[in-house]
Amino acid sequence: MPFTIAPVLHRRYDHLVLAGMLYALHFALRAGPGSGIAAALLAIHLGLFFLWQPIWQRDRRLDPPAVLRVVLFTAVYLASFGWALASFWLILLCGLVAGRTIGNRRERIGYMLVLTYLVSELLVTCTAQLFHVDTVTPGVFELFRLLLPLLPLPLLLLRFDSKQDGVEVPIDFFRGVNFALMTALLAVSSVLVSYRFAIDYAVALFGTLLVLAGFLLLISWLLLSGGFGNLLHLWERSLLNVGTPFEQRLARLARLATTEPDPEAFLHAAVAQLLEAPGVVGAEWRSGRRRGRIGAESRYKLDFDDAELALSIHTRRSAGPMLLLHYRLLLQLIAHFHAAILRARDRAQRAHLQAIHETGARLTHDIKNLLQALQTLTDELLHLPETPSSDGDLARQQRGQQLLRRQLPLIAERLRLALGKLQDPALHAAGNGSLRLWWQALCGRYAGRGIQFSEQLEQDREVPIECLDSVVENLLDNALHKARAEPDITVTVTLAATGDGLSVEVRDDGSAIEPALATLLFQQVVASATGLGIGLYQAARFAERSGLRLTLASNRARDVRFTLTDRPVP
């Protein structure tokens, strides 16, 4: 029947467990291998060790197989206990204690005392007995043997923090292994120096300790000061590469992301590059409804799920921590670049649709203006007498025929251009043209419609014809609509082309635009009773793309002025 050991012991009693464990081991070593007292003390020591051990959580359930393994380990340990096994056990304990990550200052002091005791017990007692060191000054080691039992005493008073109870203790195995190896090297080196130079073991131990300390100081200086080509940088780079050209792999992945605009093709090529990583035998991915696989499958699989992509790689064997970091970083970069390519494609599609929308809206507005011109022309013709009965009627009929001959070819040409833009916008995009010719054409199109034209054309210049046509005609059509509601107003168009720049001004002396509506002009689509509510917004955007600026220069009663200019903002 499974049971838990969590209720038996709490972490706040760790200091007592450690003190009892060290004292049981100390007196067992004093009794010596082979004695019954040593076996009993070692059994107590191992029991306390299993309660203290930092590798498994304390609330872990112990089933019968686990209990059987613990019992077998204890029996084998007690049966084969000797100075060699004792030395190995002390080195193992040094590694476990040194590898334990401690954040509390009180615990850190306690474990420093534990390490001091374990290292001293290894060097003073076990090493001398294991190698039969006889070059020992009796007084020195006797003093150490008397002082060693005093080291665990402060543990009885140092109560550890209990907040970590129920939480797995973090262990840095790399640090623990390094400390254990250094301790073993110190012990063996001290014995070798003592035998080689026939000097006292205590002197050899002290000299070896100084040499080891100097070696560690030298390594620290090389790693931290940047000497000899910055060894720390080389070490970290070696850990990151894991035997592979990691930087080259990242460069290839980034280059592939910049040269391959299709996300599916990029994904296939990037996953194919993963097969060059060490230990990778296959990979598979899923993006939306599309799936892909390359290479073979294995029992070891690493998954990476992103919002838009799921990646999995199959490895030949279980990957270690550094390789896992290596793989996860590569998978994350592939997912990042894939998402970036998808966003770039979506932005391109939205830009294309936006261009189609703007072109369609502009052409719709142009066609609306043409229809309004046709309607105005039709109204003029409908008011002409069918048979002139006087000289006045004859003059009106002649003016109507002249207007018809002048306006119909212009309207037909503009309809042809609009149809061409719908069929192929790029081919029929209007370029720059003469400002003088454009002004003459504008005056001709709106002749006889009650609009006053004035100009200050000091020099001719190249201007964006399509932009001027679209913007100015939109302003004039709005002004003419306003004139129908307010018959007494006058519409004036003024052109100024001087050394200071270009300016086209459309002015009427009617009522002002409502302030709430005026603040929204050029910023968004507004409600309109006579149009689509998009004319001025499209005109402002078109002018901005052409290097011009459309503004409401004045919004007062009897002085409403719109200005299209290439002059900078004052």
For residue range 442-472, list pLDDT tens digits in order. Answer: 887 777 778 899 988 888 888 888 788 888 8
Same domain, 252 and 301: yes
Domain boundary among 319, 352, 385: 352
Distances (CA, A) of 237 to 36, 243, 326: 54, 10, 12
Q: How many separate domains does the chain show?
A: 3
Same domain, 186 and 265: no
Asked, for residue 248, whether it belongs to a domain, the answer is: yes
Domain boundary among 237, 253, 279: 237
Same domain, 84 and 221: yes
pTM: 0.47
Given a cut of 80, is residue 524 above it in pLDDT?
no
Same domain, 223 and 257: no
Identify the pLDDT of residue 106. 78
Given a cut of 50, is residue 177 above it in pLDDT?
yes
**Which DSSP letter does residue 82 get?**
S
Asked, for residue 557, whether it belongs to a domain, the answer is: yes
Same domain, 57 and 144: yes
**CA-to-CA distance for 190 and 350, rounded, in angstroms?**
76
Asked, for residue 561, whether it belongs to a domain, the answer is: yes
Same domain, 231 and 249: no
Residue reference for tokens 């939480």: 167
Same domain, 437 and 561: yes
Same domain, 189 and 255: no
Summarised one tens digit per residue, pLDDT across range 65-78 is 777 888 888 888 88
Secondary structure (DSSP) of 349-407: HHHHHHHHHHHHHHHHHHHHHHHHHHHHHHHHHHTS-SS--SHHHHHHHHHHHHHHHHH
Amino acid at 141: F
Distance of alpha carbon 483 from the chain centroid: 58
Beta-carbon contacts of 474 under 8 Å, excluding residues fewer than 6 positions away, are 365, 369, 535, 536, 539
In degrees, rounded to 5, the angle at the alpha carbon of residue 84 between the alpha carbons of residues 82 and 88 is 115
Domain boundary among 210, 237, 264: 237
Asked, for residue 291, whether it belongs to a domain, the answer is: yes
**CA-to-CA distance for 45 and 205, rounded, in angstroms?**
28
* Better-scored residue on pLDDT, 395 or 570: 395
**CA-to-CA distance for 523 and 338, rounded, in angstroms?**
35
Burial class (CB in 10 A: 0-12, 13-18, 19+), 262: exposed
Q: How crowded is residue 138: how many other Cβ atoms within 10 Å of its Cβ? A: 7
Same domain, 233 and 247: no
Identify the pLDDT of residue 427. 45
**pLDDT > 90: what percent of the chain?**
7
Asked, for residue 78, whether it belongs to a domain, the answer is: yes
Which strands make up the sheet holding 559-565, listed edge to edge?
A: 451-457, 491-498, 501-508, 559-565, 549-556
**CA-to-CA distance for 353 and 342, rounded, in angstroms?**
16
Alpha-carbon Rg for the chain in angstroms: 46
Closest Cα to residue 469, out of 506, 429, 438? 438
The confidence band for 88, taking pLDDT boundaries of 50, 70 and 90, is very high
Given a cut of 60, is residue 138 above it in pLDDT?
yes
Residue reference for tokens 């304990």: 93
> Which residue range is the domain that position 261 belongs to?
243-352
| 3-state DSSP assignment of residue 290 | strand
Asked, for residue 307, whether it belongs to a domain, the answer is: yes
Amino acid at 501: G
Same domain, 261 and 219: no
Identify the pLDDT of residue 57. 56
Identify the pLDDT of residue 493. 93
Same domain, 153 and 138: yes
**pLDDT > 70: what percent of the chain?**
70
Same domain, 337 and 263: yes
Asked, for residue 413, whether it belongs to a domain, the answer is: no
The H or E element containing residue 286 is strand 280-287
**CA-to-CA distance for 124 and 187, rounded, in angstroms?**
9
Asked, for residue 268, whether it belongs to a domain, the answer is: yes
Q: CATH no. for residue 560?
A: 3.30.565.10
Residue 23, Ramachandran bin (φ over 0: left; ψ between -120 and 50: alpha; else beta)? alpha
The confidence band for 508, taking pLDDT boundaries of 50, 70 and 90, is very high
